[in-house]
Amino acid sequence: MRRIFPIAALLLPLAAAAAEPAAKRPPDRADTPQPLGTFEAWTAATHHEADQLVCYAFTRVHGSSAKLAGRGDVILSVTERPSGRDAVALSAGYAYPPSAEARLQVEKASFVLYTSQRSAFARDGHAVVAALLKSHAREIQTHAPAPRHMQVTDQFSLRGFAQAYAAITKACPAK
């Protein structure tokens, strides 16, 4: 069974560390996210998980169709692990209804995401990443059910994705 964890738990410390002056930061721990770089709208980073290097790229939502009170961070990420490549995940910022599915739209291609609590995961991450890399669009969208029978459409920039992806695949090459 695939291990499910809150995506935001990895990404928020990285964002906070980037905003803090280096002189005031505590010394890095082995499991603390380490930035690889920011590539326009995407950030690439690494962290250690169970003594293995994990690399990921992420971007934050830049537009949403619905305003949900108390909605948390909305983040799209691609993760490279020794045990799995091209894991595409969406942290929605709210709990999905039970047994819900979300969709990720890349130009005319649509990909199904299965949901678990506050996250959604691509069933075929390799196909999603391939579509992201060959896309000429400036943004992609996700469509998902939300609380109170609402539908949410979120927009994410693709600017810098190819460079961020290159950084994580270089730092965590396939074996």
Low-confidence residues of the chain: pLDDT under 70:
1-30
Residue 1 included in any domain? no
Q: What's the domain range around 159?
A: 7-171
Q: Report residue 21 as tokens.
A: 């002056």
Is residue 110 within 8 Å of 104, Cβ to Cβ? yes
pLDDT of residue 70: 87
User: Global pTM?
Assistant: 0.83
pLDDT of residue 149: 85
Residue 121 φ then ψ, to 5°: -130, 140
pLDDT of residue 148: 82
The CATH number assigned to the domain holding 79 equals 2.60.40.1880
Q: d(Cα 124, Cα 7) in Å, to the nearest integer? A: 18
Residue 153 included in any domain? yes
Domain total of the chain: 1
Q: d(Cα 140, Cα 137) in Å, to the nearest integer? A: 7
Residue 88 included in any domain? yes
Q: d(Cα 90, Cα 152) in Å, to the nearest integer? A: 13
Residue 2 included in any domain? no
Is residue 73 within 8 Å of 60, Cβ to Cβ? yes
Q: d(Cα 115, Cα 93) in Å, to the nearest integer? A: 12
Q: Report residue 69 as tokens.
A: 């009170």
Average pLDDT, the chain: 87
Residue 159 included in any domain? yes
